[in-house]
Amino acid sequence: MRTLFKTFLVMLIAGLPIHATHADEYSDSMAVFKSAGESGAYFDSAYGYALFPTVGKGGIGIGGAHGKGKVYSQGTPIGKTTMNQLTIGLQLGGQAYSQIIFFEDATSLEQFTSGNFEFSAQATAVAITAGVSAEANTGGGTAAGASGGKNDASTTSGGYRKGMAIFTVAKGGLMYEASLGGQKFSYEAL
């Protein structure tokens, strides 16, 4: 049963529109976040950020997500990061999205880059392609706004939570979920 599930999950995620990550994909994703409502303002105040141009997610009851990204300190790339997630709960489908994590100060960036980092709770409002889909934070809270595919959605934010703020932008797919799970990150310096 477990092998069958793993095979299905790999096939589901493999079917998502995931492309090889290259410099243009990072530039394109950064441009989307800079023009996407409130997330654009964080570029001016954040000490650093981790950018994931494409995260693939899929599941039936039990799901998973995976994405690769770069970590920046004051606008300069300093390392590579990988995000993995396992979710359990009511969920069905697959999706692809971009994600950015802003770090308020050197301490929060150091906490993320010190090794394996994990968010204790993750919440998402990504459903179908929308400009700005959700903001989740290390406290597990969310604020969502959808723009019907435009990049002008407003998100309600209490600012940074525990030194971090997360924004996602849907790229494609359809997924229904009410799940509980956490994102785990690994970091490798350049």
**Number of domains into which the chain is organized:** 1
Query: In the chain, helix, strand, coil percent, each to 5?
Result: 20, 45, 30
Q: Which two tokens stand for residue 26?
A: 């990072």
Q: The domain containing residue 96 runs over which residues?
A: 2-189
From CA 64, how far away is CA 59, in angstroms rounded? 6
Question: Is the pTM here over 0.85, yes or no?
Answer: no
Asked whether the beta carbons of 43 and 34 are under 8 A apart, the reply is yes
> DSSP characters for 144-169?
----TT-S---------BTTEEEEEE
Q: Tell me the HSE value of 132 on the side-chain side, using a 13 A CA sphere.
A: 26
Q: Mention every residue, 6+ apart, whose C-beta is less than 8 A from residue 64.
A: 9, 13, 57, 58, 84, 85, 86, 87
User: What is the pLDDT, as a whole number, of residue 27?
Assistant: 93
The DSSP element (H or E) to which 96 belongs, if any, is strand 76-103
Residue 4 dihedral angles phi and psi, to the nearest 5°: -60, -45
In terms of C-beta density within 10 A (0-12 exposed, 13-18 middle, 19 or more buried), how is residue 66 classed? middle
User: What is the pLDDT, as a whole number, of residue 9?
Assistant: 44
pLDDT tens sequence for the chain (190 residues): 444 444 444 444 444 444 444 558 999 999 988 887 777 888 989 999 999 999 999 999 889 999 999 999 999 999 999 999 988 888 889 988 889 999 999 999 999 999 888 876 544 332 223 433 333 334 333 333 333 333 333 333 447 878 888 888 888 877 776 665 678 999 999 9
Which residues on adjacent β-strands are paired with residue 93? 59, 175
